[in-house]
Amino acid sequence: MTDSSYATEPIDLRRVDEIPDEVLGWRHQAVPRAFHGLTAREFADAQPELERLQTPVLTLDAGRLQANGERFAAWCSRHGVDWAPHGKTTMAPQLWAQQLADGAWGITLANAHQLRVARQHGVRRVMIANVLTDPAAIGEAAQDVLDGAEIVSWVDSERAVARLEAVLAEAPEAVLDIVVELGAPGGRTGARTNAEAVAIARAVAAAPQLRLVGVGGYEGALAHTSDAAALEVVRDYLERIGTLHAQLDAERLYAAAEVMITAGGSAFFDDVVDVLAAHVREAEGSRPAVRVVLRSGAYIIHDDGFCRGISPLGRTDPDGPGALRSAMHCWARVISQPEPGLAILDAGKRDVPVDEGLPVPQLIGPRLGGPMQELHDAAITAVNDQHCFLAVDPELDIDPGDVVRLGLSHPCTALDKWQLLPVLDDADSPQDARVVSTVRTYF
């Protein structure tokens, strides 16, 4: 647990700064034996060239991480909303620290393990965007509250409220802040009707160890594209969340001086703001202040696939000056060319995500860290556990050992495959790229 002297800071920067003191060794993919025995800090301080790494390797881009964070923060500021990025995307306290320094309200998480990671690194304000039903998880959240953390959890049924009450009775001094989750038919969790949600809110308001502080939901479960039909579904749902908030506000069920309306993954946060920002207000007499809190998690990494095509910051012009840019790439080596037009790479499902689209070949060159050229008329057609199938022009001259830079889709299932991520100064200039820092994940 963090020292009490850090209880008022958004994250314990001293703990975060200790992360690179981990000694590198056999557990760390892509770090060759030549660097074993060094700490991650010493490794980064030496600024090794990209070519010193082994393939496959997933790298981050320092400049793009910084630019993505600044662009999203500026967008939220312009629109008068807050954000609590979903930390499950990266599970990297070093990146959480950047997001909090950019002005994030807090960090969103999903379960007890993620909460433990956050609290170990002194994250003070956490939204658990999930229904806690595990007794141990409820007990840990209660203890964190007693230790000075601000924990907001969700409920979507009166039975969940009763379960929380029963477990919290064993920690009678703890009061847990609660958001009532509204869902939709065919969606994920959440009360299916506004009437159910109102009844749940009344149950929360009547519970002595629960405090109703907002309403929320997840629109991303209802649509996967940005066409007109999908956006209509999303916006109708968001309107229902706004209506629910208005009813709870009118009934004076909120028990805090400041409450939240929370929605917004990484795909439709512009619609969230368009529909719900009208409810933002300062405190008025006995009426609480209201803030809209987005939970977009992918923006800091972004990608070259799903997020590139659907994020409001780049949807219409993904290479424009205001667009987010992918801060992650995988570098894979050709290990075989068993027939014309086919090369097999040494990266597979253990290394790259495939759930939101296959990797996209972007560059090719004779060695890692050497000059590379754009790879045209090529595609990854299949991915096995340890191999990618690269279809290319049969006339293209490819040799074993050639290196391909892959664009990836879906940061949430990319970073979870790597404990240690080298951060390059510039992934667009591989012949000059150097490792300038590392990011440690805790999945």
- Say what the pLDDT of residue 427 is: 85
For residues 292-317, one letter each, b for 16 or more C-beta atoms within 10 angstroms of the residue's C-beta and e for the rest, the string is bbbbbbbbbbbbbbbbbbbbbbbeee
Q: Taking the model in full, what pTM does it have? A: 0.95
Q: Are residues 151 and 285 in the same domain?
A: yes
Tally the domains of the chain. Answer: 2
CB 373, CB 405: distance < 8 Å: no
**Which tokens go with 404?**
């391909």
Report if residue 75 sits inside a domain.
no
Instruction: Give the closest residue to 391 by CA, choosing from 348, 345, 335.
Output: 345
Residues 243 and 260 occupy one common structural domain: yes
- What is the DSSP pairing of strand 328-339 with strand 403-407? antiparallel
Residues facing 281 on adjacent strands: 290
Same domain, 327 and 188: no
52 and 146 in a single domain? The answer is no
pLDDT of residue 7: 58
CA distances from 170 to 134, 153, 303, 392, 433 (A): 14, 18, 45, 63, 55
Residue ending a domain, choose from 294, 324, 340: 294
Using CA of residue 240, residue 244, residue 247, residue 250, what is the dihedral sign?
negative
Helix, strand, or coil (residue 125) = strand
Single-letter code of the amino acid located at 1: M
Question: Is the same domain home to 258 and 310?
Answer: no
Residue 67 lies in a domain: no
Q: Do 141 and 235 share a structural domain?
A: yes
Q: Which stretches of 46-130 are DSSP H helices?
A: 62-79, 93-101, 112-120
Q: Is residue 336 part of a domain?
A: yes
CATH (domain of 418): 2.40.37.20
CA distance 172 to 382: 55
Asked if the structure places residue 214 within a domain, the reply is yes
Classify residue 116: in a domain, yes or no: no
Residue type, 287: R
| 28-34 LR contacts (CB < 8 Å, sep 24+) | 28/419, 28/420, 29/54, 29/56, 29/57, 29/351, 29/418, 29/419, 29/420, 30/54, 30/55, 30/56, 30/57, 30/58, 30/420, 30/422, 31/420
Asked if residue 129 and residue 276 are part of one domain, the reply reads yes
What is the distance between the alpha carbons of residues 53 and 264, in angstroms, rounded to a whole number?
37
> Two tokens at 134?
């595990």
In angstroms, rounded to a whole number, what is the distance separating the alpha carbons of residues 27 and 298? 26
Distance separating alpha carbons of residues 359 and 303, to the nearest angstrom: 10
* Contact partners, residue 284, CB within 8 Å, separation at least 6: none
pLDDT of the chain along its 443 residues, tens only?
A: 334 444 579 999 999 999 999 999 999 999 999 999 999 999 999 999 999 999 999 999 999 999 999 999 999 999 999 999 999 999 999 999 999 999 999 999 999 999 999 999 999 999 999 999 999 999 999 999 999 999 999 999 999 999 999 999 999 999 999 999 999 998 899 999 999 999 999 999 999 999 999 999 999 999 999 999 999 999 999 999 999 999 999 999 999 999 999 999 999 999 999 999 999 999 988 899 999 999 999 999 999 999 999 999 999 999 999 999 999 999 999 999 999 999 999 999 999 999 999 999 999 999 999 999 999 999 999 999 999 999 999 999 899 999 999 999 999 999 999 999 999 999 889 999 999 999 999 99
In this structure, are 160 and 289 located in the same domain? yes
170 and 288 belong to one structural domain: yes
What is the distance between the alpha carbons of residues 11 and 118, in angstroms, rounded to a whole number? 8
| Alpha-carbon 323 to chain mean position | 18
Q: What number of residues does the chain have?
A: 443
Collapsing DSSP states into helix, strand and coil, what is residue 422? strand
Residue ending a domain, among 235, 267, 294, is: 294
- Beta strand 289-294 pairing with 258-263: parallel
For 127, residues 6+ apart whose C-beta sits below 8 A from its C-beta are: 84, 106, 107, 108, 109, 152, 153, 179, 262, 293, 295
Residues 271, 134: one domain? Answer: yes
Contact in structure between 31 and 323 (CB atoms under 8 Å): no
* Other Cβ atoms within 10 Å of 381 Cβ, number: 11
Residue 95 lies in a domain: no
C-alpha count within 13 angstroms, C-beta hemisphere, residue 96: 38
Cα 12–Cα 84–Cα 195 angle in degrees, nearest 5: 135
Residues spanned by the domain of 336: 1-61+299-443
Do 289 and 308 reside in the same domain of the chain?
no
